[in-house]
Amino acid sequence: MTGQDKIRIAVIGASGYTGADLIRLAAGHPHIEISALAANTHAGEEMGRVFPHLQTLGLPDLVKSDDVAWGEIDAAFCGLPHGTAQDIIAGLPDKVKIIDMSADFRLRDPDVYKSWYGRDHDATALLKTAIYGLTEHYTEEISKARLTACPGCYPTAALLGLIPLVKGNMIAADDIIIDAKSGVSGAGRGLKQNTLFSEAGEGLSPYAIGTHRHAPEIEQELSLAAGQDIVVNFTPHLIPMSRGELVTCYVRLANSISPADLREQLRNAYKDKMFVNIVPDGVVPATQHVRGSNYCLIGVFEDRIPGRAIVISTLDNLVKGSAGQALQNFNLMFGFDEQVGLTQPPLFP
């Protein structure tokens, strides 16, 4: 493929962690040309100064999003905070396909968005057309989309483990407890007291207890899968590591269903999906098994309490939980094999 044949992309929010990881992955994609990098607070700077680990890639300098030559761009990856993202995305030319890594287009109902994010949704026409980008469950819809809303990292891990079980009526929909833990990069690159080294290091702390904005996203998709309203018990925790995520789901089994049945249901659901792997019986998923990769590992275990099971999912929050899944969705939207540019094995140890 010549340079003229490549898909010309812009990355909006290129100075954030998800933006940087998207660039790292896109640089090795055979069908992508990184044509523009936007970061308003760093406009005019070289990318190699903002992220020295990317300095050998020959990237364009950072510019303001308004200064991108959008007429020359085929696809935009957006890694901006919620609220900011919808305003910029709404102004992009119709010919530009959009893969949004923010939260602005994940919730289908603008009233639910307002109740959780504290502001009206100003791009409701676009919201109606957005496809939820959980790749393995919306493959066909994503392939036809102009705007794909990539899920949050916690919902990705939880939903990959739970949707096939809820769809199959194999667990009680009214009794799901999700205990989630993520590295501090999930909080973004901005300065926050709780992510300072002396605050987050050598400790473990829950946050946004009962109020985390990923809860309605999880409930939205599980409710669609179940055909009934579902409310989950969801508590996230901050782990003193840079990247990685592990989600432990405690579920009550439906009558006559065993943990082995859950494992088989998941294997069948993902038998043709390269990036979701159901580990063998007795193998425990761990964050160090997926670091830097686009893979999600899922394990099923019998609980000590009769009639209950434990489903554990792990992924890299910046890759399968964000930038990698975004690139996977890009592949579908432009007719490429969804694995292209994403088959790097995990970094271990």
Whether 64 has a pLDDT exceeding 90, the answer reads yes
Residues 163 and 311 in one domain: yes
CATH of the domain at 75: 3.40.50.720
Q: Give the pLDDT score at 1.
A: 38
Find the mean pLDDT for residues 273-297.
97
Residues 77 and 168 in one domain: no
Q: What is this structure's pTM?
A: 0.94
Residues 74 and 179 in one domain: no
For residues 32 and 337, give the distance between their C-alpha atoms in angstroms, rounded to a whole number: 14
What is the domain count for the chain? 2
Domain membership flag for residue 324: no
Residues 17 and 115 in one domain: yes
Residue 8's DSSP bridge partners are: 33
Q: Give the pLDDT score at 196.
A: 79
- The domain boundary residue, chosen from 129, 162, 192: 129
Domain membership flag for residue 176: yes
Q: Give the pLDDT score at 3.
A: 43
Whether 4 has a pLDDT exceeding 70, the answer reads no
Domain membership flag for residue 330: no
Structural domain boundaries, residue 109: 3-129
Among candidates 67, 65, 105, 111, which has minimal Cα distance to 88? 65
194-213 residue pLDDT tens: 777 778 788 899 999 999 99
Average pLDDT, the chain: 95
Residues 117 and 233 in one domain: no
Whether 187 has a pLDDT exceeding 80, the answer reads no
Residues 196 and 52 in one domain: no
Catalytic sites, residue numbers: 153
157-172 residue pLDDT tens: 999 999 999 999 999 9
Whether 284 has a pLDDT exceeding 80, the answer reads yes
Better pLDDT: 272 or 4:
272
Residues 182 and 293 in one domain: yes
Find the mean pLDDT for residues 285-303.
98
CA 54, 59, 61, 66 torsion: positive or negative? negative
145-154 residue pLDDT tens: 999 999 999 9
Domain membership flag for residue 197: yes
| β 308-315/296-302 pair status | antiparallel
Residues 99 and 240 in one domain: no
Residues 100 and 191 in one domain: no
Residues 108 and 158 in one domain: no
Residues 120 and 176 in one domain: no
Tokens of 293: 């990769």
Q: How many CB atoms are closer than 10 A to CB 256?
A: 7
Mention every residue, 6+ apart, whose C-beta is less than 8 A from residue 264: none
Whether 2 has a pLDDT exceeding 60, the answer reads no
Domain membership flag for residue 234: yes
C-alpha 260: how far from its chain's center? Answer: 28
In this structure, the chain runs to a length of 349
Residues 121 and 205 in one domain: no
Contact 93, 69 (CB under 8 A): no
Domain membership flag for residue 236: yes
Domain membership flag for residue 69: yes
CATH of the domain at 234: 3.30.360.10
Domain membership flag for residue 227: yes
